Structure 1
Amino acid sequence: VCLYTLSVLSQSSHLIIFFLPAPDLPIVERRNWLIHQHYIHKDYDTCKAIIKEQLQETNGMCEYAIYVQALILRLEGKIQQSLELFQSCAILNPSSTDNLKQVARSLFLLGKHKAAIEFYHEAARLNEKDWEISHNLGLCYFFIKDFKNAEEHLNIALQINKHDKTFMMLGKVHLLAGDTDKAIEVYKRAVEFFPENTELLTTLGLLFLQLGKYQKAFEHLGNALTFDPNNYKAILAAGSMMQTHGDFDVAMNKYRVAACSVPESPPLWNNIGMCFFGKKKYVAAISCLKRAHYLSPFDWKVLYNLGLVHLTMQQYASAFHFLSAAINLNPRMGELYMLLAVALTNLEDVENATRAYEQAVTMDEANPLVNLNFAIFLYNHGEKKGALDQYQEMERKVNLLRDSSSNLEFDSELMDMAQKMGAALQVTESLVWTKPGKDSKSKPNSATATKTPGAPLGTNQALGQAMSSAASYNKNIQLPAGTNCQHSPPLAIKPKPNFSL
C-alpha cells in the first residue's frame, strides 16, 4: 500500500498539484492492517498465514501479529497456547493494559482465578477507570468465594459503567452471601436502567416468588413475557406459580409454549407430570416424570415425585425404589425418609420403617406431619409412650409455625387426624388445634392410611433453570401421613411457598 501526501499550491490562475510519497512504514507493522482485515472477517486461515509471514520477517517481534494469533488460538479452544502468546505480548509491551487483560482472561479460562486476579490488579494500576477490569476482578473473587471483594469491585465497575452483566453478577453475589434483600435492590436498580432485559425481569420475579409476593412476581414475569413471549424461563416460572395455586390447565397451556423452545427440558417434563398428578391422571404423570428422569437421571426432585405418584397408586415397591434413589442423592432431607417409611410400612417392613421415621424426625425440625405420622405408626404398633412423645413434639412445631405466621392455615383433614390421635392418647384437653374433630372418641385406626400428598415437592423446580446459577424447589409440600390402611384423605399443612434460588 502506498500512501501519498497531496499538496496544492496556487500560482496565478493555475493550480499546481504535487504528489509526494509518504515514508514507508516500519517492516514490523507493515501487514497489521491486512491481519486485522482478515481477522474481523473471520477468515482465520488466511489470517494465520499472513501472521506467519509477518513473524518470519520480524523474527517474532511483531506484537500485533502475536496478539491476533493468540486471539485465534483462544477461539479454537487452545487456551494454554494463547496464554503463552499473550505473555509474549506483555513482555514486548509491558505498559499495555490490553496485553495484561488478555493474560488474565486466559488464566481465568484455565480456572487459575488467583493468578488472574494478580494480572487484573496490575492492569488496574495502569488504568483505574476500566469497567472490564473491575467487572472481571469481581468475577474472579466470586469464583474463589471472596464475596466481600467481589461486591467491592462490582460496585466500582457500576460506578464506571452501568452494565447489565455487572448487575446480574452483583445480584448473584448477594444471593450466595445469603442477603436476598440486597439482591432484590440490585435487580430493581438494574431494571430501572434496563427495563427490557428479560433475564433481569425474570430473576427479579423469581426472588419475589421466593418471598411469597405473588403480585410483584407475576408483574415482573409478565413484563418479561411482554418483551419476549417465547422466553421459556419466564414461561416456566409463571407456569410453576400457577401450578402451585392449583391452576393446572392454565399452567399446562404455558408449558405447551415452553415445549416449543426447550422440548428436552427435565424441569418442564417434571412440571407437566405434576400437573397431570394434580388432575389425578396418574399414568400420564408417571409417563412425563419418566421422561424427565431419562433426561436428568440424577435430579432427586424428579425421583421424589415419582415416589409420590407410585405411593398414590399404592405401588409401594416402585415407590420404595424411587425414594431410595432420591435419598442417595439428597440424604439430608427429612421428608424423604418419612415417605420411605410410608412405603416400608405398607410393605410390612416394620423394623426398617421405624428406622426411617427415626431418621426423619432427627433431620426435620419444622414439619409437624413427620411427627404426627410417626406417632400414628407407633400407636398402631402398641408403643403408646413413644406415640405420645411424637405427638407432643408435633404440637411444639405447630405452635412455632403459628408464632412465625399469623396467616397460617392448617388442612382440615390434618386437624381431624390430630384430634383423633389426641383422643386416642387421651390428651385432647391440651390440643393446639382451633378446629374440633368430628369424632373425638374414635380410634385413629380407621383413618390410619397411606396419605397421598396434595402438592408434591419439585412443582417449581423449573425456576432453577430460569436462573443461570442454581436450582430451586417449592417447600410448600403437603406430605403424606403414613400408616396401615389403604384409603384415606390427604393430610397437609399450608405454609407460604418458599423457594431457594
Structure 2
Amino acid sequence: MQKQSIGQTNDEFNSKFIRFLLLADYFAELKKGSRNWLLHTRYVRGEHAMCMELVDVLQKETNHTHRYAYFIMGAVLADAGRLQEAVDKFHSCIRLQPQDPEPLKQVAKCLYRQGRFQLALEAYLEADKLSKHPDPEIYCALAECACHVMGPGGSGVEWARAAQGAGGGERAAALLARLLLAAGDVPSALAAYDHALATHACGADTLAAAGALSLRAGDPRRAFQLLGEALSQQPTQHAAALALAAMLLQHKDVDAALARLKAALSAHPTCVAGHSNLGLALLMKKKFVAALTCLSRAANLAPLSARAAHNLGLALLASRRAASAFCRLACAAALHPTRSHTVLLIGIALERLGDGRADAAYNRAVELSPTDPLVRLNLAGRHARVGRLADALKETRVVAQLLEQAPDAQLSSSLATLINALSQADPKLQDQFSGNKGDEDKEDFQGPETLQPDEV
C-alpha cells in the first residue's frame, strides 16, 4: 500500500509538472505576442531608437524567429534610406512565412525606390499571386512600375483600371488620369478626373491636377472652380496657386496673382515656377529690380532650366541690359535649341548690341516657327529698321494672312503700327499693300506716326 501511494504521488507530481511547463510555454508565447502592439505603437510614433531596442529584446527571446520584429526592423531601415538592409530583413520575414504577401510588397517598394523597376514589377506580380483578394494597392503599384518599364499607356493603364475596379478610391482614379495624360489622351484623362470627382471626396492635390488639366484643355471656368476648391481645402497647395495665378495674369489681374504666388512660395520657398511667375508678374508692374531678383533666384535654383533662363533674359532685355540678356538667352538656347521665342529674343538683344548676327537669329527663329505671327512680325520690324522696306512689306503680308486664320488684337495693332510706319517711309508701299484691300481695311491700319526700335 505504501509503494502504491508513493507511485501515485509520483504520477500526480509528473502530470502537474507537465501542466506547469505547458502553462509556462503558453504564457511565454502570450508574453511574446502581447508586445507586438507596443512595437507597432513605437514605430508609428516615430520612436525608432526605442523600437529597435525592443526588436533586439524580442529576437533574443525567440532565438531570432520573431517575424513581426523583422518586419518592423525592415520598415525602420527603409524609412532611414537603408533600402538594401531593409530588403534583407523583409526576406527574413518571407522565409519564416512564405505565404504572407505583406513582406513581399515591402520588398517591392524598396526595389522601386532604388530605381529597379523591373524587379519591383516582378515582386508585385508575385505578391498579387499570394494575395487572396484583389488588392488595389498592388494594382496601383503595378501600374506605376509598368509605366516606368514599358512607358505610358499599355499595361500601366490596364492595371490602373483594375485598381479602380478593386476599390482603389481616389488614388487609383487619379493615377489612371495621370497615366492617360502621360500617354497623350487628354479627353480620357479629363473623363477620369471627372469620374474621380463625382465618385470620391478628392483631396487638394487631385483637385489641383484636374483644374490644371481643365485650364490646359481650354475650360477656364471649370478650372477656376476646381482650383478654388483645392485652395479652400489647402491654402498652401502650390500647384493650384500657380495655376490660378497664371489665369489671373492672363486676365491682367496682377495684384491678385501676386497674392497667390506669395502664398505658394511661403509654403514651398524653393519652387522654381513660383519664383519665375512672381518675377514675370513684377515685371508687368514695372518693378524691374524685384523682378530681376525673383527671376535670378529661379535661375539659381534650376541652372539647367531653359524656361528660367529664358524668363531672366526677357527681364534683362526689358531692363535695357542687352549684354546680360544675351548671355542668359544663349544659355536657354543651348538647353532648348528649338524654342523659337528664345532665338527671337537673342536676335533682339544682338540688334540692340549692334551685332551683325542679329539677322541670322531672326531668320533662324522664322525657320523654327514659320507660322508664328509674332516671330514673322518681329522679322518685318527688323527689315524695316535696317531699311529693307520691300522685305518688310512681304513679311507684313504673311503676318496679315496668319492673323486672318488666328486673330489677335494686340498683334493686329502692332501690324497696323508697322504698316503705317512703312507707308510714311515710302508712300508707294502703302499702295502696294492695299492692292488687294478695300477702303475699310485701310482705315484699320492707322497708328502712331513713328515706330520706336524694338517696339514690336
Shorter-chain TM-score bucket reads 0.7 to 0.9
Q: Deviations over 1:339-366 (max 9, x none)?
A: 110111121112x112212221121143
Q: C-alpha separation between the residues in 2 aligned to 1:175 and 1:71?
A: 33
Alignment of 1:389-408 (within 5 A): 390-391=395-396, 393-395=398-400, 397-401=402-406
Gaps of 5+ in 1: 1-18, 403-407, 452-480, 482-501
Q: C-alpha separation between the residues in 1 aligned to 2:338 and 2:222?
A: 32
Q: Work out whether 1:450 is the aligned partner of 2:454.
A: yes
2:366 partner SS: helix
Report which stretch shifted further, 157-166 or 274-283. Answer: 274-283
Q: C-alpha separation between the residues in 2 aligned to 1:124 and 1:353?
A: 62
Structure 1 residue 395, shift from structure 2 partner = 4.6
Among 209, 217, 228, the residue aligned to 2:215: 209
Partner of 1:37: 38
Describe the shift of the 1:433–1:266 C-alpha distance in structure 2 as closer, same or farther (beyond 3 A). farther
Q: Deviations over 1:290-321 (max 9, x none)?
A: 33334444333333223223323332222212
Structure 1 residue 109, shift from structure 2 partner = 1.6
Among 280, 298, 305, the residue aligned to 1:274: 280
Describe the shift of the 1:162–1:353 C-alpha distance in structure 2 as closer, same or farther (beyond 3 A). same
Q: C-alpha separation between the residues in 1 aligned to 2:72 and 2:439?
A: 74
Among 51, 65, 69, the residue aligned to 2:69: 65
Alignment of 1:53-202 (within 5 A): 53-56=57-60, 60-127=64-131, 128-144=133-149, 145-195=151-201, 197-202=203-208
Q: Deviations over 1:198-219 (max 9, x none)?
A: 1122112111211232211111
Describe the shift of the 1:26–1:143 C-alpha distance in structure 2 as closer, same or farther (beyond 3 A). farther
Q: Deviations over 1:232-283 (max 9, x none)?
A: 4323322221111111122223334334433444333333322222223333
**Contact 1:27 1:58 (8 Å CA) reproduced:** no
Report which stretch shifted further, 101-110 or 285-294. Answer: 285-294
Structure 1 residue 177, shift from structure 2 partner = 0.7
Q: C-alpha separation between the residues in 2 aligned to 1:133 and 1:334?
A: 44
Partner of 2:5: none
Describe the shift of the 1:446–1:438 C-alpha distance in structure 2 as closer, same or farther (beyond 3 A). farther
Q: C-alpha separation between the residues in 1 aligned to 2:240 and 2:62?
A: 55
**Contact 2:91 2:103 (8 Å CA) reproduced:** yes
Alignment of 1:324-403 (within 5 A): 324-350=330-356, 352-381=357-386, 387=392, 390-391=395-396, 393-395=398-400, 397-401=402-406
Q: C-alpha separation between the residues in 1 aligned to 2:33 and 2:55?
A: 9
Among 238, 248, 253, the residue aligned to 1:242: 248
Report which stretch shifted further, 214-223 or 22-31. Answer: 22-31
Among 263, 287, 290, the residue aligned to 1:284: 290
**Contact 1:415 1:437 (8 Å CA) reproduced:** no
Q: C-alpha separation between the residues in 2 aligned to 1:29 and 1:385?
A: 97
**Contact 1:167 1:186 (8 Å CA) reproduced:** yes
Describe the shift of the 1:29–1:122 C-alpha distance in structure 2 as closer, same or farther (beyond 3 A). farther
**Contact 1:28 1:62 (8 Å CA) reproduced:** no
Q: C-alpha separation between the residues in 2 aligned to 1:100 and 1:173?
A: 25
TM-score, structure 2 as length reference? 0.82
Structure 1 residue 158, shift from structure 2 partner = 1.1
Q: Deviations over 1:394-441 (max 9, x none)?
A: 455435436xxxxx545342231453458738343346998536778x
- Higher relative contact order, chain-length normalized (CA < 8 Å, sep 6+): 1
Q: C-alpha separation between the residues in 1 aligned to 2:83 and 2:252?
A: 50
Alignment of 1:431-450 (within 5 A): 435-436=441-442, 446-447=450-451, 449-450=453-454
Q: How many residues align?
A: 426
Partner of 1:496: none
Q: C-alpha separation between the residues in 2 aligned to 1:146 and 1:216?
A: 26
Report which stretch shifted further, 53-62 or 84-93. Answer: 53-62
RMSD of the TM alignment (CA)?
3.3
Letter matched to residue 101 of structure 1: K
Gaps of 5+ in 2: 1-18
Letter matched to residue 373 of structure 1: N
1:349 partner SS: coil
Q: Work out whether 1:414 is the aligned partner of 2:419.
A: no
Q: C-alpha separation between the residues in 1 aligned to 2:231 and 2:363?
A: 46
Larger Rg: 2
Letter matched to residue 302 of structure 1: A
Structure 1 residue 373, shift from structure 2 partner = 2.0
TM-score, structure 1 as length reference? 0.75
Q: Work out whether 1:223 is the aligned partner of 2:224.
A: no
Letter matched to residue 324 of structure 1: A
1:449 partner SS: coil
Q: C-alpha separation between the residues in 2 aligned to 1:276 and 1:66?
A: 56
Report which stretch shifted further, 290-299 or 150-159. Answer: 290-299
Describe the shift of the 1:271–1:433 C-alpha distance in structure 2 as closer, same or farther (beyond 3 A). farther
Describe the shift of the 1:179–1:359 C-alpha distance in structure 2 as closer, same or farther (beyond 3 A). same
Structure 1 residue 81, shift from structure 2 partner = 1.2
Identity %: 27
Report which stretch shifted further, 264-273 or 364-373. Answer: 264-273
Structure 1 residue 137, shift from structure 2 partner = 0.5
Describe the shift of the 1:114–1:264 C-alpha distance in structure 2 as closer, same or farther (beyond 3 A). closer
